Structure 1
Amino acid sequence: MDSLLLLLGFVCMIVGVLGSFLPVLPGLSICWAGLLLLYLTKAVENNYWILGITLVITIIITILDYVIPAKGTKKFGGSSYGVWGTNIGLIVGIFAPIPFGVIIGPFVGAFIGELLYDSKNHKRALKAATGSLLGFLASSFINFLFCIIYLGIFITIVWQNRVLLF
């Protein structure tokens, strides 16, 4: 049973790291599930501090994934219309059957939102949409960084406890 949990945990780690690039997958949450699976093995002593702290970090970053693109729009001079457009575009982009919908959706949403606010100022709309895109990229980078940290924690725990697959 330990071998299965260890293998599933490692698969979660790899899928989570890939999920930090593919916005459709909740990468950090999957990585945390991998840590949880590791701690469910009998070979590793439970450490609720590590699980608790990483869970809190995962929840905070998951919330920030939806906040950062909107803040990027606002930072680049966008109005509340652009912020709403970013959020709506993010949701539409998740479900849209187009490649890179999660990247394109917030950008287009912010652009359309700003054009609804001021249809004559295309430059401002483009600037706000760029802020949305940069916010999304920053959010993805943070996700990737913490996925790598969680993978490092996983490998360190496996190494320290000399957990073997077979």
Structure 2
Amino acid sequence: MIPACGRMFCRGILRLRVHDSFEPFGWAFWTIQTLIVAVLFLADYAVNAWGVKRYGGSRASVIGSTIGVLVGPFVIPAFGLVIGPFAGAVIGELLAGSDLDRSVKVGWGSLVGLFTSVIVKIVLQAVMILLFALWLIF
């Protein structure tokens, strides 16, 4: 899930292609940009799993949190991105046999992971935009 600034950046690059050409950028630019996009996708899941594990979550809560990230926005459009991972981690931890207090703590860890992944994605997208600007200047 790419935040709005990343989607706008991708649309901007596509508009550049329509009005100009990708030719000035070359393979190095596109390779770097592609690698950053791959890291963006991995950050969504890896950092979320890190947050769950950091707060003592089991494998079931990591899977539940990941399912919550994917399904939550579709089930509850306005708040599903936040509620989904939390609920998924809590349900996963409860299914693994933990008590409610521990499960809620692990759910909190999924939110910490989610917000940390948002920060990581914002930083990576800023790097993408900076590279694009520098490539245009030099």
Q: TM-score, normalised by structure 1?
A: 0.69
Q: Alpha-carbon deviations, 1:88-129, whole Å to 9, x = none?
A: 21122131133121111001110111122225x222111111
Counterpart among 88, 104, 112 of residue 83 in structure 2: 104
In structure 1, what is the Cα distance between the partners aligned to 2:76 and 2:89?
19
Cα drift, residue 156 of structure 1: 3.5
- The share of aligned pairs that are identical, in percent, is 31
Contact (CA 8 Å) 2:43, 2:121: kept in 1 or not?
no
- Give distance in 1, aligned partners of 2:104 and 2:62: 13
Provide the residue aligned with 2:44 in structure 1.
65
> Is the partner of 1:49 in helix, strand or coil?
helix
The reply on whether 1:135 has 2:113 as its aligned counterpart is yes
Indicate if the aligned counterparts of 1:69 and 1:136 stay in contact, CA closer than 8 A: yes
Greater Rg by CA: 1
Match of 2:102?
124
State the Cα distance separating 1:29 from its structure 2 match. 6.2
CA contact (8 A) 1:87 1:106 kept: yes
Partner in structure 2 of residue 153 of structure 1:
131
Separation in structure 1 between the aligned mates of residue 97 and residue 131 of structure 2, nearest angstrom = 49
TM-score by length of 2: 0.80
What SS does the aligned partner of 1:90 have?
helix
Distance 1:153 1:146, change over 3 A: same
Q: Which amino acid aligns with 1:128?
A: V
Q: Which residue of 1 aligns with 2:58?
A: 79
RMSD of aligned C-alpha atoms? Answer: 2.6
